[in-house]
Amino acid sequence: MLSAGQGRRLLPLTAEVPKCALQIGGRSLVEWQIAQLMRCGVDQVTVIVGFEAEKVEQLVRGHGRSNQITTLYNPFFAVSDNLASCWLARNLMTEDFILLNGDTLFETAVLERLLDAPSRPVTLVTDRKPAYDADDMKVTVNEGKVLRVGKILSQEQSHGESIGMLLFRGSGPGLFSDAIDRAMRGPDALRHWYLSVIDEMAQAGLVWTCPIQGLKWAEVDCVADLEDAHHLATSWSDNSEHSASFTITCPQRFSEPDPNR
């Protein structure tokens, strides 16, 4: 889980609290994510922290056993984007794993659909809407295969948007780890998103899409997003499925790296 960033577009709310620690529907965003992951059988979670790391560590402490929920500190969080966070976690990418942006709130059904998707090296969760803006991480798709990923894609090239959740299986973890290592050797690496690497892998035919039209999720980038996320989480709090305590439902193993600058 990429949760090293401050979330400057949410200032002053994030002046002393990282975005992932903001309260949404009575629970912090990072705790919502952990709850959904563990409900779907993810029994190993790594949260990459940076800004006000101690506050995030305090929030995740006590959820599961001490070896189930761990944190990894990114000392470069103030001068880097999330490619660096992934690079710091590359040694964890030895098995199938989920990569999750730290500002994505999602219902259980989103993760269940991803885990039920056919086994591919890289599976990118996408949603669709009538039009896309400059801040959307857009995707070009052909017959289920992702061809391009990026914010600069035109409306004609945009067949959906990434929600900030990916599944790596089989050869995928090793290919992604190697690609990250190569990318970090570039002169502008600290300013790059990890999805620039996914874009390269997509052009090599290694990335497939998991569409989730009709399922509920929210990206928290600004105050309006926070309000939308609060309404979504509040609706879940009225549902016994989503208000259940943190539990492990099955013994699968996935490792989770961490963004959100």
Question: Cβ neighbours of residue 240 under 8 Å, at least 6 residues apart?
Answer: none
The answer to whether residue 256 is domain-embedded is no
Residues 79 and 85: beta-carbon distance below 8 Å: no
Question: Cβ neighbours of residue 261 under 8 Å, at least 6 residues apart?
Answer: 4, 5, 6, 7, 8, 77, 81, 82
The answer to whether residue 252 is domain-embedded is no
Q: How far apart are CA 122 and CA 96, in angstroms?
A: 10
Give the residue numbers spanning the domain of 49.
2-237
CATH code: domain of residue 227: 3.90.550.10
The answer to whether residue 247 is domain-embedded is no
Q: How far apart are CA 62 and CA 16, in angstroms?
A: 22
Condensed to tens digits (0 to 9), the pLDDT of residues 98-151 reads 999 999 999 999 999 999 999 999 999 999 999 999 989 999 999 999 999 999
Q: How far apart are CA 194 and CA 83, in angstroms?
A: 4
The answer to whether residue 152 is domain-embedded is yes
| Mean pLDDT value across the chain | 88
Condensed to tens digits (0 to 9), the pLDDT of residues 190-217 reads 888 899 999 999 999 999 999 999 999 9
Question: How many independent structural domains does the chain possess?
Answer: 1
